Structure 1
Amino acid sequence: MRYGIVTETYPPEVNGVALTVQGLEHGLRQRGHEVAMVRPRHDGEAEPAVDTLLVRGAALPRYPGLKFGLPATRLLHNHWRQARPDAIYVATEGPLGWSALRAARRLGIPVATGFHTRFDDYVRSYGAPWLEGTALRWMRHFHNGAQATLVPTRELQAFLQTQRFRNVVRLPRAVDTVAFHPGHRDETLRREWGLDPHALAVIHVGRIAAEKNLPLAVRAFRELQRVRPEARFVWVGDGPAREALQRENPDFVFRGIKRGGALGRHFASADLFLFPSRSETFGNVTLEALASGVPVVAFDYGAAREFLRDGIHGAAVAVPDDAGFIAAALRLASDDALRTQMRPACREAVAALRPTQVADAFDRLLQSLTRSDSHAAPTVP
C-alpha cells in the first residue's frame, strides 16, 4: 500500500504530535508500505528525504522554532494526482491540514485525521475563554470532513461523540520501553542536578507554556520542599514561559530539550514526576515516566486515566482539584518507601504497550478506509 501523511510538525521539533507522527510513519514503513510525507520545510533544511514533499510554512506565534504549513491545495492536488496514495492521514488542523482535506476530497482519496490538540482548552489558557465554543465547532467541521477521526483514549472518544464528531476511532498509544527504562538511572547526572544520593529529584518534562498549568507544579513543589528541603525541581523542555519561570525560581534546574538516551536518563534519574496539565489529548510523557519506573502525579484524564492507578503508580487526581494535586505531591514526596514500592508497578503498567501493535492497528484502520464501506467507522481493538 502507499499511504500519505500530512503534518505541520515533525522532528527535530520536539512535541507529542511530532513524535507520535514519526512513530506512525516508521511503523508503516517497517510493515513494508510506502509512506509519502507532506510537511513544512524546517529552517536551514536543504533537500527533502525520499518520499517527502516540503511546503512553505510560517512561524507559529508564541512557539519559537515551530511552524504551521501555509495553504497548498493546488500543490497537493497535483502531487497526489501524479503519485496517488491509497489513503491519507492528516495529523494537524492547520492551513496545510485543511488543504490536504480539500485536495483529497477532490481526488476521492479516503482520509483519516488525528485529534492531537485541545484547541478549545488552549484558548482558555491564553485568556480567551469565550472562544471555546468557536474552537470546538471549527475542529468538528475539520474532522467531520474525513472518514475517521483518530483519538488516543476512550474518554476523548466519548467526549467528541457527544459533541457530534462522526466516526471517532480510538487508536491506542505505545511507549518505547527500551529507551525509557529504570536501568538508565544515572547518579552522575543526579550530582549535576546538585543532589546527594538520598535527596529527592522532582521532574517535569514538556513544553514550558501557559497551557501546561505550570504554576500548579511550582506551588506543589514549594509545599513539598517544606518537608524535603534538599529536593530539587528539574525541568526538561523549553517554551515561551521558560524565561519568566527561570527568573522567578532561580533554584530550579533547567536542562533544556533532551532527546534519545539523554531524555531516558533524565526520566529514570528522577524520583517523582509532576504533570499538572489539563489541556492534553493524551500526554505521552506520562507513559515515558511510568516506563522509567517514576511515580507520577497527574490529573485523572488522558494517559493517566488509561494507565495510572491511584496509590499504585502515583496519584490520579480528580479534575480540577488543585489542592488534591498539591496534597498528592506532598504525600509521595514524604514517603520514600512508598515510591520505592511503586517503581516496579509503574514499569509493569506500560510494559505491554508495544509500538508494533499500534503500527498494526493504524495500518488496518487505513486499509479499512480504502474499502467500499469506508464511510462507516472502522474498529480498532
Structure 2
Amino acid sequence: MQATDLRVALFSGNYNYTRDGANQALNLLVGHLLDRGAAVRVYSPTIDPPAFPPTGDLVSVPAIPMPAGRAEYRLARGLPAAIRADLSAFAPNVVHVSAPEILGHRAVTWGRRHGIATVASLHTRFETYPRYYHIGFVEPLLVRLLTRFYNRVDQVFTPGQSMAELIRGWGVTSPIGIWSRGVDHDRFTPARRSLEWRRGLGIADDEVAVGFLGRLVLEKGLDIFADVLRELKARGVRHRVLVIGDGPAREWFAERVPDAAFAGFQRGDDLGRAVASMDVFFNPSVTETFGNVTLEAMAAAVPVVAARATGAIDLIDDGVTGRLVPARDVSAYADAIAHYAQEDSARHAAGAAGHAKAAGYVWERINQVVLDSYLELLTRRGGGV
C-alpha cells in the first residue's frame, strides 16, 4: 500500500471555527496527507466566519452552541442522514476521530459497522476540566467513559509518552502510537524578539516579562497563575506579566492581574514576535496532552516554568530547559520564576537549551508518522482498499 491508497475521513469537534493548538495540528496533518496524494474529507461543526480557512474539503456537521457557558464551541449531536450519505459516497478506508464527544462516538460506530479502520487521537485532557468548574466529582466517570471510547478504536495516537502511560493506567488496551507535534521554526525563533513591541505595551526593557500564551479559560490554570503573581509581588520580584491570547475568562483574569499587559490574540509572525519577546513562559495548566505553546516558547529561546504534568514532562528537561513544579504549589512556582527573573545567566542558558531541543520537532517528519501508521493499520487488517 501507499499514500495514494488512503481515503481518510477525519472527524473534529472544532476544525477551524476557533483557533487552538489541536485544530492547527489537524490542519497541518491534513495538508501533509494531501501533499502525499491521500484523499481526505473532514467533518466538523462550522461557523461563519471561521477563525481561519480550512485545509482540505470540509463538510459542515449540524451543531448547537456548547452548554455550560461555553457557547464559543459547537456540539454536534450525531451523524444525520446527509452526513452518513456523504461518508458512504466518499468511501473512506480510515476513520480518524479527534475528540471523544458525540460526533466522535457516532463516527467510530459508523466505521466499525462498515468494517473500516478506526483511529483516535488525543489532544486535550477533557477529564480534568470538571475540577475547574466545581464538579470534580464527575472526573472518575469521565475517565471510565474515555477508556471505553479509546478501547473501541483500532489505534490510538497520543502526542507523547506521558499520555500513553496515563491512558494505559486507565485501562486502555488498544494499540497506542505517538503522534508528536512540530513547530514553525521560521516563526518561533529568538530572532523575532522585539523590545520596541514590548515598549508599546508599557513593558520596560529591564523588566522580566512573565508570559501567558493561550485561550483565557479557567482550565488553563488561570487561578494558580494569578496566585503565583501575587506571591512574586509580595516577594518584591521585579517582573511584568505579558498575556497573549483572549477568551471568555479575560475579565475574570484581568481583575486578578491588574498590572498585566494584555496583547490579545496574535497570529502568524506577530505571534512569533510576541512569544520571543517574553523572558519566561509560565504554564501551570494540567489539561495539556502535549503543550504546543510550551514548544513554541522553547523554540523562541524562552525558558519555561510549567506544571509537572502530561505534556510538559515530555518536553522540559527540569533544571536545563526550564523548571517542572508540582501542579498547584504556588510557592515552588514563585521560586522557579524568581530564579529566572533574578539570574540573567540562568535564564539565558535555559532559553538556549530549550531552543536547541525544540530544533528536533519538525512537522513534516512528525506527520509522516501518522501516514505510515495508517498504512500499517490497513495492512494489518488485510488491505482495506
| SS of corresponding position for 1:302 | coil
| SS of corresponding position for 2:43 | strand
**Aligned residue number for residue 14 of structure 2:** 9
How far apart are residue 360 of structure 1 and its match?
0.8
Distance 1:317 1:370, change over 3 A: same
How far apart are residue 86 of structure 1 and its match?
1.9
Distance (Å, rounded) in 2 between the aligned partners of 1:103 and 1:78? 11
Amino acid at match of 1:85: P
Distance (Å, rounded) in 2 between the aligned partners of 1:74 and 1:219? 50
Distance (Å, rounded) in 2 between the aligned partners of 1:337 and 1:225? 22
Distance 1:48 1:121, change over 3 A: closer
**Aligned residue number for residue 140 of structure 2:** 133
1:92-131 aligned within 5 A? 92-131=99-138
How far apart are residue 135 of structure 1 and its match?
0.5
For each residue in 1:208-241, what CA deviation from the matched residue of structure 2 results, as whole angstroms up to 9, or x when unmatched? 1221221222222233345666522111112222
Distance (Å, rounded) in 2 between the aligned partners of 1:25 and 1:227? 48
Contact 1:151 1:157 in 2 (8 A): yes
Distance (Å, rounded) in 1 between the aligned partners of 2:55 and 2:184? 24
How far apart are residue 301 of structure 1 and its match?
2.6
**Aligned residue number for residue 3 of structure 2:** none
| SS of corresponding position for 1:254 | strand
How far apart are residue 258 of structure 1 and its match?
1.5
Say whether 1:252 aligns with 2:265. no
Identity %: 28
Say whether 1:25 aligns with 2:30. yes
Amino acid at match of 1:26: G
How far apart are residue 374 of structure 1 and its match?
7.6
For each residue in 1:40-86, what CA deviation from the matched residue of structure 2 results, as whole angstroms up to 9, or x when unmatched? 121346x9886321111221233342212231153343222211112
**TM-score of the two chains, using structure 1 as the length reference:** 0.92
Distance 1:44 1:360, change over 3 A: closer
Distance (Å, rounded) in 2 between the aligned partners of 1:257 and 1:233? 15
**Aligned residue number for residue 71 of structure 1:** 78
Distance 1:48 1:150, change over 3 A: closer
How far apart are residue 92 of structure 1 and its match?
1.1
1:161 aligned residue (161, 168, 173):
168
**TM-score of the two chains, using structure 2 as the length reference:** 0.91
Contact 1:272 1:295 in 2 (8 A): yes
Distance (Å, rounded) in 2 between the aligned partners of 1:150 and 1:374? 21
**Aligned residue number for residue 289 of structure 1:** 297
For each residue in 1:91-138, what CA deviation from the matched residue of structure 2 results, as whole angstroms up to 9, or x when unmatched? 111221122112212221111011222222111221112111110111
For each residue in 1:161-194, what CA deviation from the matched residue of structure 2 results, as whole angstroms up to 9, or x when unmatched? 1211122222222222221111111122110121
Contact 2:189 2:276 in 1 (8 A): yes
2:222 aligned residue (210, 214, 221):
214
| SS of corresponding position for 1:370 | helix
What RMSD in Å do the two structures reach over aligned CA positions? Answer: 2.1
| SS of corresponding position for 1:88 | strand
What are structure 1's unaligned runs of at least 5 residues?
A: 376-381
1:20-59 aligned within 5 A? 20-44=25-49, 51-59=57-65
Distance (Å, rounded) in 1 between the aligned partners of 2:145 and 2:269? 39
Contact 2:239 2:341 in 1 (8 A): no
How far apart are residue 339 of structure 1 and its match?
0.8
Say whether 1:182 aligns with 2:190. yes
For each residue in 1:144-177, what CA deviation from the matched residue of structure 2 results, as whole angstroms up to 9, or x when unmatched? 2211111111111112112111222222222222
| SS of corresponding position for 1:204 | strand
Amino acid at match of 2:379: R
Distance (Å, rounded) in 1 between the aligned partners of 2:293 and 2:38? 28
How far apart are residue 268 of structure 1 and its match?
0.2
Distance (Å, rounded) in 2 between the aligned partners of 1:251 and 1:141? 45
Contact 1:101 1:111 in 2 (8 A): yes
Distance (Å, rounded) in 1 between the aligned partners of 2:208 and 2:32? 37
What are structure 2's unaligned runs of at least 5 residues?
A: 1-5
Distance (Å, rounded) in 2 between the aligned partners of 1:110 and 1:212? 34
Amino acid at match of 1:59: P
**Aligned residue number for residue 87 of structure 1:** 94
For each residue in 1:282-340, what CA deviation from the matched residue of structure 2 results, as whole angstroms up to 9, or x when unmatched? 21111010001100000223332112112211211234433222211121111122112
How far apart are residue 355 of structure 1 and its match?
0.3
**Aligned residue number for residue 276 of structure 2:** 268
2:157 aligned residue (150, 155, 162):
150
